[in-house]
Amino acid sequence: MTHTSQPVRDMDVDTIRQQLEQHLQERLDILAELAPEALPSVDPVAYQRAATNRLVVEQITAALNRLDAGTYGHCTRCGREIAAGRLEILPHAAACIDCQSHADAA
């Protein structure tokens, strides 16, 4: 008998929101810390780290918007439910593993 993870619809929305907001604040703190050096002419590595963190901030914000809209946990590409295990690892995931694999291969 295999153990399946809990369906997204049964997950605690308040806990999910709290996790997402915590991840968002962590990324915003990193961006604030990097801001003085995050210019390509000053520190290219800090600049790239800031760009990466800005992208994650956008992804987390989008996940919070999906949570508000009632679409959190559903793939934005195919509409199928994203595995709860994937969301536990990457709570701001927008795509199921299949769709993400196809996007990464392209």
pLDDT digits (tens, 9 = 90+) for 42-64: 899 999 999 999 999 999 999 99
pLDDT attached to residue 45: 94
Q: What pLDDT was estimated at residue 25?
A: 98
pLDDT value of residue 12? 86
Q: How large is the C-alpha radius of gyration of the chain?
A: 16
**35 burial via Cβ count (<10 Å: 0-12, 13-18, 19+):** exposed
Q: Are the CB atoms for 57 and 63 separated by under 8 Å?
A: no
Q: Residues with Cβ < 8 Å from 93, sequence gap 6 or more?
A: 63, 82, 86, 87, 100
**Is-above-0.85 flag for pTM?**
no
Q: Domains of the chain (ranges plus CATH)?
A: 8-105 (1.20.120.910)
The beta strand positions in 1-106, using DSSP E, are none
Q: Which of 30, 12, 16 is nearest to 64 (CA)?
A: 16
pLDDT for 44: 93
Low-confidence ranges of the chain (pLDDT < 50): 1-6
Per DSSP, the residues of 91-103 read TT--S-HHHHHHH
